[in-house]
Structures are given as structure tokens and as C-alpha cells.
Amino acid sequence: MSDYTAMHDGDDASMVVDRLVLKGKGILELCMERGKNLSMKGFIDCQIEKGEAYLPVVEQTMSYIDHQIGAIGDRRQKELLRDLHNYIGQQLQLLDTVAHTSSGPG
């Protein structure tokens, strides 16, 4: 089953979101091991591009990163996590701006 399925009811949507959050955590661990955020940024972009139904994945991933920032002692890893946190915040803000612009008076 694909990670990107049509989400018709709440149970299926919750299961898909949970699976993608878990996938994101795995990608984050790999990024931390390698010291690079590019794969994680691609994962975040992909969730945002899939639409509003996938935004909980982004939000839960951001929450997980927040938790990790407080739990990790390594300065370099904290910098990578902060970079990801800022990136997600910027992407969500951009998405919000676009949504407000397109739903404004026409």
C-alpha cells in the first residue's frame, strides 16, 4: 500500500498520518547520522505538496523536532534540528500566506 492513498475516513487518515510520521522520524534519524537535512526537507515539501490532509504529518514532525532539540546535547545536531524547525515554520507560513491570498477578495 502506498503512503499516499486517498484519505476518505478518519481511521484511514489517522493510520496514514501515523505511518508517515514514523517514516519522517526514520528519515530524521538518518539525516542526523549523516549531518545533512536535505532528505528531511524533501520529505516535508512532499507532505505539503500532497495537500491539507497531510499537514498533520508536518505538524507532528515539527513537534517531534522540538522535543529532540531539548533532548539532544550535541551542538551540531541541535543546529541541524533548529534549521529543520525554521524550515518547516517558513514552509507552513508560506502555505498560510498563499491560502489567505487565494481566498481573499477577488
Structure confidence at residue 10 (pLDDT): 61
In a domain, 2, yes or no: no
In a domain, 57, yes or no: yes
Number of domains in the chain: 1
Structure confidence at residue 4 (pLDDT): 47
At 44-73, the pLDDT tens digits run 999 999 988 999 999 999 999 999 999 999
* Cell reading at 74: 550535541
In a domain, 6, yes or no: no
In a domain, 45, yes or no: yes
In a domain, 56, yes or no: yes
Domain holding 88, by residue range, is 12-102
Q: What is the mean pLDDT of the chain?
A: 87
Under-50 pLDDT residues of the chain: 1-2, 4-5
